[in-house]
Amino acid sequence: MNGYEMILCIVDAGFSELVMDAAKEEGARGGTVIHARGTANKEAEQFFHIAIQPDKEIVMILVPAEIKDNVLHAIYKNAGLKSEGKGIAFSVPVDEVVGISAPAAPETKEEENK
């Protein structure tokens, strides 16, 4: 495994479950939702051609690096800017992780016979 990536998705309040459902479909195991408030101005609204709702939710999802692209694409498809949740998502590499139990490796026949 090449490590982990942190996916952050900012959506309008009330749409974090939409993000998590899309992420779980691609192998994410869970996430953390933080309530937030946006600070966009009228120029940003005109640039993106959407109304900016100030109440937001930030969904943080830690995933193995090899599924990051699939999770990001699923989030974009289900909760992107053109969806009801008006979300944006991005990822950042994670150097070290503690407190996560990786799925157990399957036992080989040789280990089973011991």
CATH number at 44 reads: 3.30.70.120
Residue 109 has pLDDT above 70, yes or no: no
- pLDDT at residue 104 in the model: 47
Tell me whether residue 101 is in a domain: no
Tell me the mean pLDDT in the region 22-51. 83
Residue 108 has pLDDT above 50, yes or no: no
Instruction: Quote the domain boundaries for residue 62.
Output: 4-96
Please provide the average confidence, as pLDDT, over all residues in the chain: 84
Q: How many CB atoms lie within 10 A of CB 114?
A: 5
Global pTM reads 0.76
Tell me whether residue 19 is in a domain: yes
Count of structural domains within the chain: 1
- pLDDT at residue 4 in the model: 95
Tell me the mean pLDDT in the region 24-37. 95
Residue 72 has pLDDT above 90, yes or no: yes
Tell me whether residue 106 is in a domain: no
Tell me the mean pLDDT in the region 49-66. 86
Confidence of residue 105 (pLDDT cuts 50, 70, 90): very low
Tell me whether residue 108 is in a domain: no
Tell me whether residue 111 is in a domain: no
Tell me whether residue 56 is in a domain: yes
CA dihedral 4, 69, 11, 33 (to 10 degrees): -30
Tell me whether residue 88 is in a domain: yes
- pLDDT at residue 24 in the model: 97
Tell me whether residue 9 is in a domain: yes
Tell me the mean pLDDT in the region 79-90. 90
Q: How far apart are alpha carbons 51 and 81 in whole angstroms?
A: 11
Q: Closest Cα partner for 10 from 43, 48, 42, 46?
A: 48
Confidence of residue 2 (pLDDT cuts 50, 70, 90): low
Q: Closest Cα partner for 2 from 69, 57, 59?
A: 69
